[in-house]
Amino acid sequence: MKTKRIFGFFALLLIFGASFAMGISAAKDHIVDDGYGIGDVAADFSLKNVDGKMVSLSDYANAKGFLVIFTCNTCPYAKAYEDRIIALDKKYKSKGVPVIAINPNTKSGDGFAEMQERAKEKGFTYPYLHDEGQKVYPQYGATKTPHVFLLEKTQTGNVVRYIGAIDDNYQDASQVDEKFVENAVDALLAGKEINPNTTKAIGCGIK
Amino acid sequence: MNRLLIFLLMVALMVGCGDGKKPKDVADNQEVAVESQNEEKVAFPTYDFEGLEPLLHKEDDQTYIINFWATWCKPCLEELPHFERIREEQKNNNVKVILVSLDMPHMWKSRLEPYVKNKRIQSEVVILDDPKQNEWIPKVDEEWGGGIPATLIYNKEKRQFFEKGFTYEELNEALSKFIK
């Protein structure tokens, strides 16, 4: 199916005689990632929170940005990061960059009732949204949990500034050398360049 | 001395696994394994990326199928039987399958060992225990985003990386480009 999509994309490119065919040929052997890249404007969404209310980015009139984090109940990596996600929200909500968590999974263990339960148990301080119909995560290009997208609110929309992992040690928060997300948000708030703006980590595929 | 150690370890492993497999299958990496066996008595060699890396760059006459998986990764478990089947079918064709587990340390004893034992997995299993993922993921392949299952197929002439799950047919086809 992916191949079909790649070919379809290729055909489109040919039809339009686009000039960026080079980039595509490089990606031909790999699965084309349809999601956002750094600098793209992320679409808003309206998803149901564990408290039953709908949440959109546009609800946050005073936010400077958002930490949109795709995470879930069931993945061992996501669980290992739960406390650190709560800490991120505590640290940056007051600075105008709240955490918005989205659960993209639909399989058992990640149902809405189970999400409500987990949010209560852990005392999530941020919205934990159910990606009903799994429409939002493919738009973003989230491939696994946890997967972080840092957005900056600008005149033209919410611009993607960082994509990747929370930090460089999933096993042990005390052994972390580089706090990727914190560094990124700090740089964003200080108007500095974010470096690195993409990082990689093992995660659970979205089901 | 060294040989004696290797021999003892092989015996220990065979007894430990209780499957009486031919020692040849586990023999290749024993020397490295000796160093890492001293921790917690896990039944599999445990490496950081530096330790694993030589397995990704062997220059002998074999074709290596290196599969990254974990017991918590459902699609990984679904494709494991295909790797086992290929290993059996291609073992006289200089093909070697290595299953690199990314299970977390607390799962080694509780999940990984029982899984490998209960499913009677014959392919070589090693553990990659290196939290600095942002550093080592690109070293396996620049294009790898970190999702599993993921598989590297290589020999001394070529290599190809797949960030996806395989059916038996797909795996066979991918491998056919490596064996003459």
Residue B122 to chain A, least CA–CA distance (Å): 25
Same domain for A13 and A72, yes or no, is no
Residue of B nearest to A206 (CA): B147
pLDDT tens by residue, B160-179: 999 999 999 999 999 999 98
Question: Which residue reads 């995470």 in tokens?
Answer: A71
Q: How confident is the model at residue A177 (pLDDT cuts 50, 70, 90)?
A: very high
> How far is Cα A180 from Cα A200, in angstroms, rounded to an integer?
10
| Residue of higher predicted confidence among B35 and B74 | B74
> How far is Cα B120 from Cα A192, in angstroms, rounded to an integer?
54
| Inter-chain CB proximity B145 and A200 less than 8 Å | yes
Same domain for A8 and A71, yes or no, is no
Signed CA dihedral, A81, B132, A162, A178: sign only = positive
Which candidate from A31, A196, A204 shows the least CB-CB separation from B163? A31
- ipTM reported for the complex surpasses 0.90: no
Q: How confident is the model at residue B180 (pLDDT cuts 50, 70, 90)?
A: confident
What pLDDT shows up at residue B5?
A: 53
Is the CB of A164 inside 8 Å of chain B's CB atoms? yes
pLDDT tens by residue, B21-31: 334 344 444 44
Q: Is residue A28 pLDDT above 50, yes or no?
A: no
Residue A201 to chain B, least CA–CA distance (Å): 5
Q: Which of A34, A202, A204, A206 has the most B C-beta neighbours within 10 Å, making it the best mutation to test the interface with B?
A: A202
For residues A156-175, give the mean pLDDT. Answer: 95
Q: Is residue A199 pLDDT above 90, yes or no?
A: yes
Same domain for A157 and A123, yes or no, is yes
Is the CB of A203 inside 8 Å of chain B's CB atoms? yes
What pLDDT shows up at residue A73?
A: 96
Which candidate from A171, A178, A207 shows the least CB-CB separation from B104? A171
> How far is Cα A182 from Cα A87, in angstroms, rounded to an integer?
10
For residues B27-44, give the mean pLDDT. Answer: 54
Q: Which residues of A touch B104 (CB under 8 A)?
A: 76, 80, 171
> How far is Cα A86 from Cα A182, in angstroms, rounded to an integer?
13
Same domain for A11 and A83, yes or no, is no
CATH architecture of B44-176: 3-Layer(aba) Sandwich (3.40)
What pLDDT shows up at residue A205?
A: 85
Same domain for A4 and A64, yes or no, is no
Q: Residue A94 belongs to what domain range?
A: 35-205
| Three-class SS state of B9 | helix
| Three-class SS state of A124 | coil
What pLDDT shows up at residue A87?
A: 98
Same domain for A25 and A2, yes or no, is yes
Asked if B74 contacts A207 with a C-beta cutoff of 8 angstroms, the reply is yes
Which domain CATH number covers A47?
A: 3.40.30.10
What pLDDT shows up at residue B35?
A: 42
What pLDDT shows up at residue B2?
A: 55
> How far is Cα A17 from Cα A24, in angstroms, rounded to an integer?
13
Q: Which residues of B touch A144 (CB under 8 A)?
A: 145-147
Least confident of A19-33, A94-108, A163-177: A19-33
| Inter-chain CB proximity B147 and A200 less than 8 Å | no
Q: How confident is the model at residue A203 (pLDDT cuts 50, 70, 90)?
A: confident
Same domain for A51 and A151, yes or no, is yes
> How far is Cα A83 from Cα B57, in angstroms, rounded to an integer?
38
What pLDDT shows up at residue B14?
A: 46
Residue A85 to chain B, least CA–CA distance (Å): 18
Task: Provide the domain count of chain A.
Answer: 2
| Inter-chain CB proximity B74 and A164 less than 8 Å | no
| Inter-chain CB proximity A165 and B75 less than 8 Å | no
Sorted by sequence, the CB contacts under 8 Å of residue A104 that are 6+ apart come out as A70, A72, A131, A134, A136, A137, A142, A145, A206
For residues B103-132, give the mean pLDDT. Answer: 96
Same domain for A18 and A115, yes or no, is no
Q: How confident is the model at residue B150 (pLDDT cuts 50, 70, 90)?
A: very high
pLDDT tens by residue, A86-144: 999 999 999 999 999 999 999 889 999 999 999 999 999 999 999 999 999 999 999 99
Which candidate from A169, A203, A205 shows the least CB-CB separation from B75? A205
